[in-house]
Amino acid sequence: MALAQDATVDQLLKKLPPPEKFVKSPTDRIVLDARTLGNDRAVRQLVEAIRFRNFGHALDLARDLAHRYPNNPVAHSVHGAIAYGLRQFAEAAEACHRAIALRPNYADPHVGLGFIELAQNRPAAAIPHFQRFAELEPKQAGPLMLLSACHERLGQKQKAVEEAKRATVVSPASAGAWVQLARTEKSVGNTGESLRAILRAADLLPDSAYMMATVGYGYINLNQIPAAIPPLQRAAHFAPNDFLVQSQLGFCLEATGQTDAAIEHLRKGARLAPNYAPVWEHLGLAYATKGRHRDAVDSFERAVKIMPNYKQAWQHLCTEYRLAGRPDDAQKAAARAAQLKTASPNDSKKNG
């Protein structure tokens, strides 16, 4: 399981996009109805500015629209969304509050206020706005995912799980909701439930190499090696130059007796990341299984060069030296192994 140590579920879940990446931001939600603003020419200019990501010009146009349409909540909400995108938080919040005063049941400015608070790392202050968002759009997973994220950041783990579950019930086709549920289930120690949620997300994102790899690594950490192979094969298809995917897939194939295929993927992993020691160790084991002892020696020598304090790699090298007819080198390797405490590859890399 040496390779799996570099790709734990914890590490992978931390890298998954947070809920706000799956939910349209205030800027993304801008839908200007030209009729609402009297077919104003500035509206078309604003849409073009947003399209070409010229947000500075867009903010000038939004300010002008809000000034010329002081009683139109859409104009103020758009102003707030553009200001939020440029991190002009005070201006954005003021515009959103104006929009709400004009139309209390208008969801967009509530979304804007929630995002403004999150951007300033104030999740508690964001909660009331996302609760209002959820009331106004009860069939959307987005507000529940955002509420889950707020509780998660406040350390309210069980509440975060509950909101994430609600999101998956409201919108079972939302990959982001399942990703958030996976993250929160793991935070309360429900590893099995976390993996099940990741599987649902992966079903909804079948072409995502990252999601497929996450599923594969999850199975490895649960010691369900055969089950890890199909998602890792799919991940390797979509990300052929990901050294960790290739290495992990090779490890799984080796562990299930598919040695020729294992060697192919382990060699790819070694070529992509020649300083990644575990791939050399497992490549050595695969070569040894095939009786290719000279190749095994070369691989284990690379492994111990990179992680010189890893006892198990020296023991493997000792065995292969003997089988390759190099008794003196075998004795030296055995002596080196005897000097070392049992250590993981990660410990070796830290000490080496």
DSSP string, 68-89: H-TT-HHHHHHHHHHHHHTT-H
Is position 107 within any domain? Answer: no
Question: Is 50 exceeded by the pLDDT of residue 6?
Answer: no
Q: Which of 343, 335, 339 is nearest to 317 (CA)?
A: 335
Is position 55 within any domain? Answer: no
Question: Is 90 exceeded by the pLDDT of residue 140?
Answer: yes
Contacts of 339 (CB under 8 A, 6+ apart): none
Give the Cα separation of 97 and 260 in Å (integer).
Answer: 64
Long-range pairs, 41-49, Cβ under 8 A, ≥24: 46/78
Q: Which of 298, 240, 300 is nearest to 264 (CA)?
A: 240
Is position 307 within any domain? Answer: yes
Q: How confident is the model at residue 7 (pLDDT cuts 50, 70, 90)?
A: very low
| Mean per-residue pLDDT of the chain | 90
Plot region of 325 (φ>0 → left; ψ -120 to 50 → alpha; else → beta): left
pLDDT of residue 138: 96
What is the span of the domain harbouring residue 324? Answer: 274-352
pLDDT of residue 35: 57
Question: Is 90 exceeded by the pLDDT of residue 221?
Answer: no
Tell me the average pLDDT across 32-61.
Answer: 81
Q: Which of 14, 4, 8, 20 is nearest to 184 (CA)?
A: 14
Is position 349 within any domain? Answer: yes
pLDDT in tens, 242-259: 999 999 999 999 999 999
Tell me the CATH number at 310.
1.25.40.10
Tell me the average pLDDT across 329-336.
Answer: 96
Is position 17 within any domain? Answer: no
Cβ atoms of 293 and 330 within 8 Å: the answer is no
Structural domains of the chain, count: 1
Is position 130 within any domain? Answer: no
Is position 335 within any domain? Answer: yes
Question: Is 70 exceeded by the pLDDT of residue 210?
Answer: yes
- Number of C-alpha atoms within 13 angstroms, CB side, residue 31? 5
Give the Cα separation of 77 and 92 in Å (integer).
Answer: 9
pLDDT of residue 32: 59
The full 3-state SS of 296-345, as one line of letters, equals HHHHHHHHHHHCCCCHHHHHHHHHHHHHCCCHHHHHHHHHHHHHCCCCCH
pLDDT in tens, 271-314: 999 999 999 999 999 999 999 999 999 999 999 999 999 899 99
pLDDT of residue 1: 43
pLDDT in tens, 89-114: 999 999 999 999 999 999 999 999 99
